[in-house]
Amino acid sequence: MVKPLITHLRHVGIAMPDLDRQLAFYRDTWGLTHVESDTGVHFLAAEGSPENYIVRLRKDDQKRMDLVAFGAANAADVDTLCNQLRADGVQIIHEPTRVDTPGGGYGFRFFDCDGRVVEVSADVATREFRSIEERELVPVRLSHFVINSNNPEATVDWYIKHLGFKLSDTLCLGARGGFMWFMRCNDWHHSLAIARGPHTAINHISFELRGLDEFMRGTGRLLRQGTQMIWGPGRHKAGDNTFSYFFDRVGNCVEITTELEEVDWDKWHPSVYDITTNADYSDQWGTANPMNEFVSKQQFNDPDRGVFVAPPL
């Protein structure tokens, strides 16, 4: 099967009133590199990633998600995708044009079915990056992004139909049905996941560390620094990746992880894991605090104030 025009996850943009504390968290506690700030927007990179930045922060009167950005192979694919979305009735925020952020490029923005802003770009200059050293506790790259929807089945279908994502696996709660769908746009098990929640919001943003030792040391360092943990450390079944979830300074859930599974685009068949029947489906190691409704509610987040409202930049 032909892979989608979208090639990979680039970055996530969030906004909040308390920008200074949030910037200090992602730079000093989380280990990202502050590469540039312009007109009040701050861009942070991962030292192991060629992306110019993986998180952008902006001051706003309300806490909100600004956008999620994906890459495309070239400008022609950007134009093709925009034309397809327009023909399907998707609301385009702006047509393909020059991208005026670090790395430049050519891209456009649109609203998904829940009102999130999505950006797709190509021809973005890469950043000089390096191999992360043994026991270096900084993110290598942005791993994946998880969103909450109060109609997740429709959101899953939208990303499959319009953006070419494929379903990798699903988690369910017995007769209550599915609550998380893992989606891929390349050979990573998931770059995007969609969770059932009471409202549109960020569920969590996940960052890859170098390996298991760095993951465990990173978890310990965050705990010793007083960062509030939600769930972990453990190892998921879907994606086979490790997890430790924390809160950033404005209550968004952020995860450190490693060893996310790579799958064959054509040959991988989705499974449904009922976490009520096997505790290993939540945590193969059995080391994390139990996955329960309290943990789930921590990831519901506040209702996103950016729904169908494009950010100013």
153 CB-side CA count, 13 A: 3
| 178-184 sheet: strands from edge to edge | 229-235, 242-247, 253-257, 201-208, 141-149, 192-196, 178-184, 166-172, 271-274
Q: Is the dihedral of CA 49, 71, 112, 155 positive or negative?
A: negative
Task: Tell whether 304 is covered by a domain.
Answer: no
Number of neighbouring beta carbons within 10 Å of residue 293:
8
**Residues 170 and 74 occupy one common structural domain:** no
The pLDDT of residue 39 is 80
Task: Tell whether 104 is covered by a domain.
Answer: yes
Q: Which CATH number characterizes residue 190's domain? A: 3.10.180.10
**Residues 166 and 290 occupy one common structural domain:** yes
**Residues 149 and 286 occupy one common structural domain:** yes
Q: Whole-model pTM?
A: 0.97
Which of residues 122, 152, 171 is at a domain's end?
A: 122
Task: Tell whether 308 is covered by a domain.
Answer: no
Q: Which residues of 200-238 are buried (b: 16+ CB within 10 A; e: fewer)?
A: bbbbbbbbbbbeeebbbebbeebeeeebebbbbbbbbbb
pLDDT, mean of residues 97-120: 97
> Is residue 245 a contact partner of residue 299, using CB atoms and an 8 Å limit?
yes
**Residues 18 and 105 occupy one common structural domain:** yes
**Residues 99 and 171 occupy one common structural domain:** no
Q: What angle do CA 282, 288, 294 make, to 5 degrees?
A: 75
**Residues 169 and 251 occupy one common structural domain:** yes
In terms of residue numbers, what domain contains 102? 6-122
Confidence of residue 82 (pLDDT cuts 50, 70, 90): very high
Which of residues 92, 122, 152 is at a domain's end?
A: 122
For 263, the 3-state DSSP assignment is coil
**Residues 107 and 169 occupy one common structural domain:** no
Give the count of domains, the chain. Answer: 2
**Cis bond upstream, residue 233 (ω within 30):** yes
Task: Tell whether 135 is covered by a domain.
Answer: no
The pLDDT of residue 1 is 62
Task: Tell whether 130 is covered by a domain.
Answer: no
**Residues 73 and 192 occupy one common structural domain:** no
pLDDT, mean of residues 281-294: 92
Task: Tell whether 63 is covered by a domain.
Answer: yes
- How does DSSP assign 7-20, residue by residue? EEEEEEEEEES-HH
Distances (CA, A) of 306 to 45, 60, 261, 309: 23, 11, 32, 5
**Residues 159 and 261 occupy one common structural domain:** yes
> Is residue 203 a contact partner of residue 302, using CB atoms and an 8 Å limit?
no
Digit-coded pLDDT (tens) for 186-233: 999 999 999 999 999 999 999 999 999 999 999 999 999 999 999 999
Which of residues 74, 93, 122 is at a domain's end?
A: 122
Crossing angle (nearest 10°) for helices 75-87 and 152-163: 130
The pLDDT of residue 291 is 84
DSSP 188: B
Residues facing 193 on adjacent strands: 146, 182
**Residues 154 and 294 occupy one common structural domain:** yes
**Residues 83 and 170 occupy one common structural domain:** no
List strand residue ranges (DSSP E) for 178-217, in order: 178-184, 192-196, 201-208
Per-residue pLDDT at 179 exceeds 80? yes
Task: Tell whether 134 is covered by a domain.
Answer: no
> Is residue 231 a contact partner of residue 157, using CB atoms and an 8 Å limit?
no
For 55, the token pair is 């998180």
Digit-coded pLDDT (tens) for 16-68: 999 999 999 999 999 999 998 878 899 999 999 999 999 999 999 999 999 99
141 phi and psi, to 5 degrees? -160, 170
Task: Tell whether 114 is covered by a domain.
Answer: yes
Q: Which residues of 67-105 are buried (b: 16+ CB within 10 A; e: fewer)?
A: bbbbbbeeeebbbebbeebeeeebeeeeebeebebbbeb
**Residues 149 and 283 occupy one common structural domain:** yes
Distances (CA, A) of 123 to 36, 46, 109: 19, 19, 16
